[in-house]
Amino acid sequence: MQRLFLLDGMALAYRAHFALIRSPIYTSKGVNSSALYGFTNTILTILESEKPTHLAVAFDTRAPTPRHQIYPAYKANREEMPEDLAAALPSIKRLCKAFRIPILELDGYEADDIIGTLTSQAEKEGCFETFMVTPDKDFGQLVSEHCVMWKPGRKGKEREIIDLPALKELWQIENPDQVIDILGLMGDASDNIPGVPGVGEKTAKKLIAEWGSVDRILENTDSLKGKIQERII
């Protein structure tokens, strides 16, 4: 099997920047290089330890996506990108080019969309083992027998691999599609997406474990009890 690594560029850059927010790394000219430092370490770790046969980095663009058309408040709660991080992005992209790592970005699409499309194509090819390099829980819905999440380590810890058995245990689900159902019920504050009022992660997992999907829950609202029924309806 060939080893395909797809990196969620913006998520990794943010993570690297804020991991060192209390003790930033500066160049001799006073430029904050925390994001570049962390991103470089991730690239080197993958190249040296994982021996990928294929590697690419996907980035978001500033252009709106269809999600904004469907829900104008999508990500509206997010603060502007820190100036130091914004200034580091060109250097991160130059780093990728220096390593001859393809950069994938397209207006109207997020890195999630690009990685999801490539993951599906790799699955159809049948000759790839795919690693989605990201700390973003949303990618759980893409995990399969030949596709895993590769989460960079934190505070000196080893990287974490979330494969299909680990995903099922983590979310208490039977299949990856149910990640979407759980997130739909509990909402996603980081993306400014509201869930069902009063339904958190624990209750969302319990509901999906019992009913299997949001559609099944909506089809059986008469069977729900107490406050859960009121909240769902």
pLDDT by position in tens, the chain (length 233) = 999 999 999 999 999 999 999 999 999 999 999 999 999 999 999 999 999 999 999 999 999 898 888 888 888 888 899 999 999 999 999 999 999 999 999 999 999 999 999 999 999 999 999 999 999 999 999 999 999 999 998 777 889 999 999 999 999 999 999 999 999 999 998 899 999 999 999 999 999 999 999 999 999 999 998 889 888 87
pLDDT given for residue 66 in this prediction: 86
Token pair 């979310």 is found at: 171
- The contacts of residue 7 (CB under 8 Å, 6+ apart) are 42, 43, 46, 55, 56, 57, 58, 133, 134
In angstroms and rounded to an integer, the radius of gyration of the C-alpha atoms of the chain is 19
pLDDT given for residue 58 in this prediction: 99
pTM of the model: 0.93
Give alpha helix (H) positions in the chain.
9-19, 34-45, 66-70, 83-98, 111-125, 164-171, 178-186, 201-211, 214-219, 226-232
CA–CA gap between residue 12 and residue 35 (Å, rounded): 8
The amino acid occupying position 20 is L
CA–CA gap between residue 19 and residue 22 (Å, rounded): 8
Instruction: Please tell me what DSSP assigns to residue 47.
Output: I
pLDDT given for residue 74 in this prediction: 85
Long-range contacts of 65-69 (CB under 8 A, 24+ apart): 65/108, 65/109, 65/110, 65/113, 66/108, 67/110
pLDDT given for residue 226 in this prediction: 83
- The contacts of residue 159 (CB under 8 Å, 6+ apart) are 45, 150, 151, 152, 153
CA neighbor of 196 nearest in space, from 215, 212, 182, 175? 182
Q: How many helices (H) and strands (E) does the chain have?
A: 10, 6
pLDDT given for residue 207 in this prediction: 96
144 close to 164: Cβ distance less than 8 angstroms: yes
Handedness of CA 29, 30, 33, 34 (dihedral sign): positive
- Grouping H, G, I as helix, E, B as strand and the rest as coil, residue 107 is coil
What the chain holds in terms of domains, given with CATH numbers, is 2-171 (3.40.50.1010), 177-232 (1.10.150.20)
CA–CA gap between residue 47 and residue 53 (Å, rounded): 9
pLDDT given for residue 40 in this prediction: 97
pLDDT given for residue 78 in this prediction: 86
pLDDT given for residue 232 in this prediction: 87
Question: What are the Cα distances from residue 48, in Å, to 38, 41, 99, 130?
Answer: 15, 10, 13, 17
Q: H-helix or E-strand containing 150? A: strand 147-151
